[in-house]
Amino acid sequence: MEYVFVICIFVVLYVYFLFPLLLKVAGLCAQPVETRPIEPFVTLFVAAYNEGKVIKEKLENSLSLNYPVDKLEIVVASDGSTDNTTEIVNGFSDKRVILFESLKRGGKNSVINKFINRCKGEVIVFTDANSFYQSDTIKNLVRNFADPNIGCVVGNLRYIDEKTSVAKGEGLYFRYESKIKEFESRLGAVVAATGSIYAIRRELFLPLDFEVANDFAHPIQIASKGYNIVFEPDAIAYEKATSGIREEFRRRARIVTRGITAFMKYFRTYRMLHGTWGFCFISHKLLRWFIPFFLIAIIIINLTLLESPLFRIILYAQLAFYSLALIGIFLRGSKFGKPFTVPFYFCLINTAALVGIIKYFTGNRQAIWETAKSTR
């Protein structure tokens, strides 16, 4: 049992610490992407369902971006919205704003598949209605496409309004994720995009399955064609962080459910486990989804290995960590909750991952994404 115990601990340490370190070292030998200013025609694609609270601000932000007026269109694809989203969009007289409307809600991927062929852009930038870009964000994204080997560019999402422990944890987690993407980028092997800010070459688009997140499917498809996927830290989007523990828990569980759905659908078709990208996928995503099972195994096995002082210390350390997480639940809205943010959020996302895995294997999957109300 000692060997199983050590292996489980190693996997957890590998996923969160050793893998990023390996990436950093490997990236030292890689050639950096050579970027240069280019101005292809760009479609900024916003899939929207009942985004009346934020769509006006989103379009105003998009129209103010520092990109040639004659080389940008802003497409709002309404996914059966029942609020005033379409009325607000139609209220904009700027010809760059284009509304495509689906009368029946089918999910984000349904409107992407339905309307992508009506877009004019050589580059498609996917974004969310509640994400707001810095003025030079599109210029910084597309400059990477000067390299013909680049097929997808992932931008840098930053969270604002991090007042609760959930929001602080989410922001910290994304900063950690962004650093991993930065390391993966040096190898041209960024595993997943960020739905609020990423760009692809229009010619590389393939239809999306409804149960698979578009920001996960596109990197899979593009990597399989031999193109590199890179991270652009200077292409910045801002988004309000989730503030509710229930919303964040459900969101993280859905991400894992849809991620496993993508893997099971695509791993043979797109050879997801091969090459550098496959190595990064296994280390960054696949193993991380199953970390909850390793954590459970560690504490159960540890309870059978209490003869040694070392194993007792490890058990006490685990109990202390989970106690801090529990305290963090009760102090999540307090100014005293900051020291408990990391253990609290770590336990939250891993418990959500466990639920997400169970949902997948019990057939509880969904094609329609429910947005978190606290981010609007």
Output the CA–CA distances (angstroms, integers) from residue 360 to 71, 108, 274, 311, 372, in the order listed. Answer: 42, 19, 24, 34, 21
The mean predicted confidence, pLDDT, of the chain is 92
Residue 123: how many other CB atoms lie within 10 Å: 22
In contact, 372 and 251? CB cutoff 8 Å: yes
Confidence of residue 212 (pLDDT cuts 50, 70, 90): very high
Max CA-CA distance within the chain? 75
Domains of the chain, earliest start first? 1-376 (3.90.550.10)
- If 0-12 CB within 10 Å is exposed, 13-18 middle and 19+ buried, where does residue 336 land? exposed
The predicted model gives 132-146 an average pLDDT of 97
The predicted model gives 67-72 an average pLDDT of 98
| pLDDT at residue 332, as a whole number | 66
| pLDDT at residue 165, as a whole number | 57
List, as own/partner pairs, every contact residues 103-106 make where C-beta atoms lie below 8 angstroms and the sequence separation is at least 24, other chains included.
Answer: 104/80, 105/49, 105/79, 105/80, 105/368, 106/79, 106/80, 106/210, 106/367, 106/368
Nearest to 185 by CA among 112, 276, 107: 276
- If 0-12 CB within 10 Å is exposed, 13-18 middle and 19+ buried, where does residue 232 land? buried
| pLDDT at residue 205, as a whole number | 97
In contact, 85 and 52? CB cutoff 8 Å: yes
| pLDDT at residue 172, as a whole number | 84
> Which of 151-160, 164-173, 261-270 bottoms out in mean pLDDT, i.e. has the lowest?
164-173
Whether residue 374 is predicted with pLDDT greater than 60 in this model: the reply is: no
Confidence of residue 330 (pLDDT cuts 50, 70, 90): confident
State both tokens at 125: 């930038």
The H-or-E segment that residue 182 falls in is helix 165-185
The predicted model gives 273-285 an average pLDDT of 96
| pLDDT at residue 201, as a whole number | 98
Indicate whether this model's pTM tops 0.85: yes
* Main-chain dihedrals φ then ψ at residue 350, nearest 5 degrees: -75, -35
Task: Please give, one letter per residue, the 3-state secondary structure of 108-136.
Answer: HHHHHHHHHHHCCCCEEEEECCCEEECCC
The predicted model gives 103-117 an average pLDDT of 94
| pLDDT at residue 170, as a whole number | 73
Nearest to 239 by CA among 199, 284, 194: 194
Terminal C-alpha separation, the chain:
49
In contact, 182 and 229? CB cutoff 8 Å: no
The predicted model gives 318-329 an average pLDDT of 92
Confidence of residue 68 (pLDDT cuts 50, 70, 90): very high
In contact, 257 and 307? CB cutoff 8 Å: no
Query: How large a percentage of the chain has pLDDT more than 90?
Result: 79
Digit-coded pLDDT (tens) for 221-231: 999 999 999 99
Beta bridge partners of 240: 160
> What CA–CA distance (Å, rounded) separates 161 from 182?
24
Q: What torsion do the CA atoms of 290, 296, 300, 305 make, to the nearest 10 degrees?
A: 70
> What CA–CA distance (Å, rounded) separates 126 from 62?
12
> What CA–CA distance (Å, rounded) separates 343 from 60?
39
Helices and strands per DSSP (H, E), number in the chain: 14, 8
